[in-house]
């Protein structure tokens, strides 16, 4: 049987039946994805490699937890990698956002390449205003907004990661977004000349 020719769902069914060769092909197919997620979150090559080992060990031992009707295989795998990476940061008492490229810099170069000089100045002003508004939020609200909007975690995943009730997470996000909206509406607008 040519395991490399199998689609993800068939390959993973074999993994679920403890087929080591299928698992090896599955590992080769997804190791780069898991590693890149881990490295992006923890910012350390060695730690990211350890996370990769942990993630694939968990998948080997608990592959029965995958439910294809709830998500695609790569989405499920990405969530495991992301959650394990965030757990590693929490274990080391490191805040998630401290290891990341600040969200304000994401796609900044692309935006600047496409914009003229006036637009670039305006973009920098807007980024500074948003950054200042975020810094004024209480830490608990800022944390859940970071995880939701900049890491793509669902409210349930945030509740699980932070060991909080789901209602608390929803309230913090709602309050944080209301405060952000108020801060941004009241922010002084600087118009470049």
Q: What is the pLDDT of residues 62-103, one digit of tens each?
A: 888 888 788 788 888 888 998 898 888 777 654 444 444 444
What single-letter DSSP state applies at residue 189? Answer: P
Residue written as tokens 């699980």? 160
pLDDT tens, position by position, 137-187? 898 888 888 777 766 778 888 888 778 899 999 999 999 999 988 888 876
> Is a pLDDT exceeding 80 seen at residue 113?
no
Chain-centre distance for alpha carbon 95: 13
Q: Phi-psi region for residue 45, left (φ > 0), alpha (ψ -120 to 50) or beta? A: alpha
Per-residue pLDDT at 33: 86
Question: What proportion of the chain, given as a percentage, has pLDDT over 70?
Answer: 81
Per-residue pLDDT at 192: 39
Residue written as tokens 């796609």? 107
Per-residue pLDDT at 187: 66
> Is a pLDDT exceeding 70 seen at residue 23?
yes
Do the beta carbons of residue 87 and residue 75 sit within 8 Å?
no
Query: Of 81, 133, 78, whose CA–CA distance to 104 is shortest?
Result: 133
Half-sphere exposure of 36 (CA within 13 A, CB side): 5
pTM of the model: 0.50
Q: Which domains does the chain have, with CATH numbers?
A: 3-97 (1.10.1740.10), 101-186 (1.10.10.10)
Alpha-carbon Rg for the chain, nearest whole angstrom, is 20
Query: Of 75, 79, 29, 81, whose CA–CA distance to 52 is shortest?
Result: 81
DSSP 103-139: GGGTTHHHHHHHS-HHHHHHHHHHHHHHHHHHHTS-H
């Amino acid at each position: 049987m040519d395991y490399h020719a199998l689609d993800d769902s068939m390959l993973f069914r074999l993994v679920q039946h403890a087929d080591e060769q299928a698992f090896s092909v599955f590992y080769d197919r997804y190791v780069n994805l898991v590693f890149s997620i881990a490295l992006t979150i923890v910012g350390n090559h060695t730690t990211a490699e350890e996370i990769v080992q942990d993630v694939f060990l968990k998948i080997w031992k608990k592959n029965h937890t995958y439910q294809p009707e709830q998500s695609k295989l790569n989405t499920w795998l990405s969530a495991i990698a992301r959650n394990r990476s965030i757990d590693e940061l929490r274990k080391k008492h490191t805040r998630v956002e401290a290891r990341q490229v600040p969200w304000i810099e994401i796609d900044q170069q692309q935006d600047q390449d496409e914009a003229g000089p006036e637009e670039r100045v305006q973009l920098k002003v807007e980024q500074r205003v948003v950054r200042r508004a975020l810094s004024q939020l209480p830490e608990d609200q800022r944390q859940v907004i970071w995880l939701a909007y900049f890491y793509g975690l669902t409210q349930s995943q945030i509740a699980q990661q932070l060991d909080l009730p789901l209602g608390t997470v929803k309230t913090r996000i709602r309050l944080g977004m209301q405060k952000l909206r108020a801060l941004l509406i009241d922010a002084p607008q600087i118009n470049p000349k």
